Amino acid sequence: MNILQILPSLDIGGVETGTVDLARYLSSHGHKAIIVSGGGRLVAEAEAAGARHYNLPVGNKSIFSMLRMIGALRDIIRSEDIDIVHARSRVPAAVAYFACRSTGRTFITTAHGYYSKHIMSVPISWGKYVIVASNIMAKHMSSNFAVPYERIRLIPRGVDLERFRFAKPKEFFGDSFVVGMVSRITPLKGHADFIKAVSILRRQIAGIKAVIVGSAPKEKYREELEILVRRLGLSDIVEFGGARQDVPEVMRGLDCLVSATTTPEAFGRVIIEAQASGVCVVATRVGGVVDIIDDGKTGLLCEARNPADMAEKIARIYKDDQLRISMAIEARKKVESDFNLEKMMKSTIQVYEEALKSPNILVIKMSAIGDIILSVPSLRAIRAKYPDAKIKVLVGLRFREVLDNCPYINDRIVCDFKVKNKGLKGLLSLAAALRRECFDMVIDLQNNKKSHILAYLSMAPLRYGYDNGKMSFLLNKKIKDDAPYLNPIEHQLRTLKMAGVKDAGAELELWPSRYDDAQAARLLNENWLQPSQTLVGINVRASDRWLSKNWPPSYIAEFCDRLACDFNVRAVLTGAEKDSVYAAEIARLARSKPVNLAGKTTILELASLMRYFKLYVTPDSAPMHVACAMGTPLIALFGPTDPTRHLSPSKDCVVFWKGHEMKCSPCYKSACQKKITCLKKITVDEVLEAAKPFLAKEGSYGSRSNRVREKEGVA
């Protein structure tokens, strides 16, 4: 793998040291290590470790500088053939994110700090995976930056056990007890509280010495601390050691390390370095520190901003020889098992491999029921191409049930353009939710203006769909919609082929649960249907809006009576809830008393019901595809629409379409002005004739084999 790490500088600090450690590990294990930063004292060490360093001011917060850096970083990514860009700070994360989006490379971040909710902090949450060092950081990134937990990877920091060798604590201190802080000198690190704690301890420990090691980004604050030292009369025992690279040597000179941080921190690298060295630790009970220290066992915790409590805990370490030695030994054991550098590096490499192996894919198919059923072969093909991918489908609220128990997807993202996602504000809210998923590619099977806008706003680097003039310029991988006479499966496959996805068969599928099966059986039992009876299902109409698609009610009533009279077959009327009155009128017209189940089933309960039908008769509508998915023999009645464009291939299907007799067909008009519509030209006699071969086959109510692919244990 070719890995690029980006951060503001390579000066001395925990983040910078970790960057160099990772570069060294990558180089020693056959990977290419690139570092982009503003330079610093660790550049030479990074290059000696096998990394190539590019000096760019990527930490500059000027918008103009950031725009320039995006272009510069994009050039580096391409020239070095980078696979993954790993951002370790907020401003570089913004630069890297847009450079990755324009080059199609994988973007990962590490949240090193307990960031405030500020616009400049947001880019650290944009990584495909966000690496955190502690559980509290995972919660912080999820709660305050809306990072889904499935995108968070917990990797505690690691310490090089060869550099930080264990030395058993002194049993007796004699004339000297050295306590120290090793961190940047900033107000949040709590140096003032530490100095006050030392002032208290001076009266208890005669030989106490205090060492403060670290750089001071703001010299004025260091001067304030020096004034505090003089005011408390501690000039003879408090020493400012400045920035030091030889941290292992610093640790060897300490008897106790103090972490006095006043606000939550992501982790606390210096704590595990001290523990690895056999130095006892007193730390404030904040942030990721609680993941490191088992209070009283591997260290002592004190309250933040409480110098008296801090002093009391330091005094315990000084006075209790047995506690001091046992804590040092237990702390070293924990570091060896949980916080060693090798484990951290291996875990990071695993995240890189997972990111490259498991693309995040969004499939957009928001409506309608029939079209979503027709998308199942595409979902199956995508899963076959990307077996390790995380595949999610953007689907409308009213249609989400279709994908219940679908084995080819990981989850659904539900949209509701009538309420929750209504208007521009709702659309932008949905787009923000999609961006939080960090999709690598979008496959747009809806192909309308709204879906193309959402594909673009998802910020996925690869966006596939049809070039159909419906704002399709927002897609960057598109094909002309110039093959109108393909069946819907083949039409979708043209888009999939651009993504390298091959045909995985045209068979439709649905996955009704055991509950759906029970509901279907209950409905039949309630209507006194006997196991010996043969059933034919009839979808009473396609839509209340598409009147031109509907077979006349009188035809359906006559068909029900002829089934009963000529074949001793009971008809079962099905339809949506809004079709129930329409179905009741058909039942009133029919003398054979067909069973009226219109409005009494969900789409998956209807799928379960299909198992009991020897035959299903329907106009062009969603239940037609349900029958195909369940393997139920089908007679499809087409009028104003073209069956070649809307019907998936099926061997047990007879299609009636009088288009060749009507010059105006297919017209795709919802209402017909002619006296004799397409559907009226399809007679009851010819539909009965087509039904005979299916009715002659063996099998009856409840005995037909089930082709549905049930998941074992689905409730």
pLDDT digits (tens, 9 = 90+) for 294-312: 999 999 999 999 999 999 9
Tell me: do 494 and 518 sit in the same domain: no
Percent of the chain with pLDDT over 70: 97
Asked whether residue 383 falls in the same domain as residue 446, the answer is yes
Establish if 231 belongs to a structural domain: yes
Question: Which domain covers residue 546, as residue numbers?
Answer: 514-696
Residue 663 has a pLDDT of 72
Which tokens sit at 58? 């990527």
Distance CA 13, CA 414 (A): 44
Residues 531 and 493 in one domain: no
Q: Which amino acid is at 525?
A: N
Q: Please compute the mean of the pLDDT values over residues 32-53 and round it to a whole number.
A: 95
Q: Which two tokens stand for residue 270?
A: 């210096």
Q: Report yes or no on 375 lying in a domain.
A: yes
Quick check: helix, strand or coil at residue 393? strand
- Classify residue 50 as exposed, middle or buried by CB count within 10 Å of its CB (0-12, 13-18, 19+): middle
**What stretch of H or E contains 23?**
helix 14-28
Pairing of the two strands 256-259 and 280-284:
parallel
**Are 23 and 33 contacting, i.e. CB atoms less than 8 angstroms apart?**
yes
Q: Which two tokens stand for residue 334?
A: 């924990």
For the segment 642-669, the average pLDDT, to the nearest whole number, is 80
CATH number of the structural domain spanning residue 432: 3.40.50.2000
The string of DSSP letters for 176-204 reads -EEEEEES---GGGTHHHHHHHHHHHTTT
Taking the C-alpha atoms of residue 267 and residue 155, their distance in angstroms, rounded to an integer, is: 10
User: How far, in whole angstroms, is CA 320 from its chain's centroid?
Assistant: 50
pLDDT-derived band at 677 (thresholds 50, 70, 90) equals confident
pLDDT averaged over every residue in the chain? 91
Q: What is the pLDDT of residue 699?
A: 56
Tell me: do 368 and 332 sit in the same domain: no
Residue 610: Cβ within 10 Å count: 27
Same-domain check for residues 144 and 188: no
pLDDT above 70 for 57: yes
- Indicate if 16 and 149 belong to the same structural domain: yes
| Number of domains forming the structure of the chain | 4
Domain boundary among 87, 122, 154: 154
467 and 602 part of one domain: no
Q: Is there a single domain that holds both residue 9 and residue 127?
A: yes
- Residue 36 pLDDT > 90, yes or no? yes
Does 703 fall in a domain?
A: no
Residues 236 and 304 in one domain: yes
Query: Which CA distances in Å does 468 have to 25, 500, 501, 510?
Result: 49, 21, 21, 30
Take residue 244 and report the two structure tokens written for it.
Answer: 């030091």
Q: At which of 94, 120, 154 does a domain end?
A: 154
Mean pLDDT, rounded, for 405-432: 96
Q: Are residues 543 and 637 in the same domain?
A: yes
Query: Torsion angle of alpha carbons 648, 653, 658, 659, nearest 10°?
Result: 20
Strand locations in 276-357 (E): 280-284, 300-302
pLDDT of residue 708: 36
Q: What is the mean pLDDT of residues 449-469?
A: 95
Residue 171 domain-assigned (yes or no): no
- Asked whether residue 246 is assigned to any structural domain, the reply reads yes
Same domain? 595 vs 477: no
Asked whether residue 164 is assigned to any structural domain, the reply reads: no
Q: Is the pLDDT at 129 greater than 50, yes or no?
A: yes
Instruction: Give residue 366's identity as a one-letter amino acid code.
Output: M
Angle between helices 553-567 and 684-696 (to 10 degrees): 40
DSSP letters for 26-75: HHHTT-EEEEEES--TTHHHHHHTT-EEEE--TT---HHHHHHHHHHHHH
Establish if 353 belongs to a structural domain.
Answer: no
Q: Has residue 166 been placed in a domain?
A: no
Q: Is the pLDDT of residue 529 over 90?
A: no
> Considering 339, 372, 389, which residue would you say is the last residue of a domain?
339
